[in-house]
């Protein structure tokens, strides 16, 4: 009888533990974790494209002399951070500037190869996909509408950062 109770107790504990793990909110994993797969030519070189972009440097730009002339303590100013480092409240990933997960959502769940091989499954597990360039543009315009007095040409900017997988 005691063994049955122990097995039952262990079973219930296991079910609760697994349920808690499955119910956890997705978390941010950072560009380097995304880049483990998304760096090769066959995958579209997403990580190298990002690393070479202004988005990768956007947080660091808040420490520049130019930023200091524009706003006192820009690197702590929530208004500046909301565009230059939108994940600033999410721990170390907030230092990455405008990173993969700013656009595609927290990757802890959908990063699994079993999801990433199937875009619909990845989307069900948190990956934000965009139906077309207009959907991307609306996200970009949250920050790029005449930012700092500079006009924004979406088509030109999109060509610089577009990162589709080859053949997709």
pLDDT band of residue 146 (cuts 50, 70, 90) is confident
The Cα–Cα gap between 3 and 60 comes to 60
> Would the CA dihedral through 64, 70, 73, 79 be positive or negative?
negative
Domain residues of the chain, as ranges? 28-108+130-161
Q: What is the pLDDT of residue 25?
A: 87
Percent of the chain's residues with pLDDT above 90: 72
C-alpha to C-alpha distance for 126 and 72, rounded to whole angstroms: 36
100, pLDDT greater than 80: yes
Higher pLDDT, 12 or 72: 72
Report CA Rg, the chain.
20
Angle at which helices 154-161 and 133-144 pack, to 10 degrees? 110
How large is the greatest C-alpha to C-alpha distance in the chain, in angstroms?
Answer: 76
Tell me: the pLDDT tens digits for 15-59? 544 444 455 689 999 999 999 999 999 888 999 999 999 999 999
- Where is pLDDT greater, at 166 or 25? 25
């Amino acid at each position: 009888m005691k063994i049955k109770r122990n097995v039952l107790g262990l079973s219930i504990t296991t079910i609760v533990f697994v349920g808690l793990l499955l119910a956890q909110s997705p978390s941010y994993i950072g560009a380097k974790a995304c880049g483990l797969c998304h760096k090769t030519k066959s995958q579209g070189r997403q990580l190298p494209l990002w690393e070479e972009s202004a988005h990768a440097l956007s947080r660091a730009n808040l420490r520049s002399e130019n930023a200091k002339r524009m706003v006192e303590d820009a690197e702590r100013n929530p208004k500046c951070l909301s565009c230059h480092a939108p994940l600033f409240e999410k721990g170390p990933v907030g230092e990455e500037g405008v990173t993969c997960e700013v656009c595609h959502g927290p990757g802890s769940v959908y990063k699994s190869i079993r999801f990433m091989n199937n875009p619909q499954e990845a989307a069900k597990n948190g990956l934000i996909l965009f139906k077309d360039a207009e959907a991307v543009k609306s996200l970009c315009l949250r920050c790029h509408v005449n930012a700092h007095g500079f006009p924004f040409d979406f088509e030109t900017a999109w060509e610089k950062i577009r990162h589709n997988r080859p053949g997709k």
